Amino acid sequence: MADEPRATSWWQTLPGILTATGGLITAAATLIAVLNQSGMLGQVETRPAPEPAAENATSPLASVQLTEGWSIIGKSKQGKFFDLKLMVHGDSPAIGRSYDVVDDFRLVHKRPVSGEDQGQVITLGMVHRGDSVKVLDLYIETPSTELVPVWAKLGAVLHAR
């Protein structure tokens, strides 16, 4: 009886140690994932970097939407632009170029025409500071000594909030 080998426990063998270690790692990873999804780890909300607008853009990010519509982007007086909400270089926005938005504004379905019912303007969404927009067309009311709205048709990358 003294010559018989002593039985070893399963956790003292190499396969047992590896199995136990794998189980602990799996349990820890599952716990971290559950806590992260529930927001208990103090996760910080980040906004995706602006992407250049393109007519046929597809994005793997579900929070980015390509939208096209008219918006007032500033004012004009005698051909000079004031209070533009796009990062503009020069006297006027160039058609077909992309710009960074420097202030929030509404993007609407259509630009109002003189005498048209203003209640028919449909808001498509908000364009936020840092978003990327592409100027597709520009409409400036007849130049005068008064400040008049500068309407731009934009292709805008809107970020869901």
pLDDT, tens digit (0-9, with 9 covering 90-100), for 81-114: 888 888 766 667 788 888 888 888 888 887 766 6
Give the tokens for residue 28: 């820890």
pLDDT at 59: 41
The better pLDDT of the pair 46, 11 is held by: 11
pLDDT at 160: 54
Residue 139 and residue 74 in contact, taking contact as beta carbons nearer than 8 Å: no
- Quote the CA–CA distance of 82 and 5 in Å, as a whole number: 93
Say yes or no to pLDDT of 25 above 90. yes
Helix (H) or strand (E) holding 18: helix 14-37
- Work out the mean pLDDT of the chain and round it to a whole number: 74
Give the tokens for residue 73: 């982007």
pLDDT at 95: 86
Tell me which residue of 54, 60, 71 sits closest to 127, measured CA to CA.
71
- Quote the CA–CA distance of 134 and 93 in Å, as a whole number: 10
3-state secondary structure of 38: coil
Say yes or no to pLDDT of 26 above 90. yes
Domain ranges of the chain: 1-44, 64-159
pLDDT at 32: 85
Q: Where does the pLDDT of residue 150 fall: very low under 50, low under 70, confident under 90, or very high at 90 and above?
A: confident
Tokens 């927001």 belong to residue: 39
Greatest distance between any 2 Cα atoms in the chain = 113
Residues 39-51 as b/e (b if ≥16 CB within 10 A, e otherwise) read eeeeeeeeeeebb
Give the tokens for residue 57: 């853009």
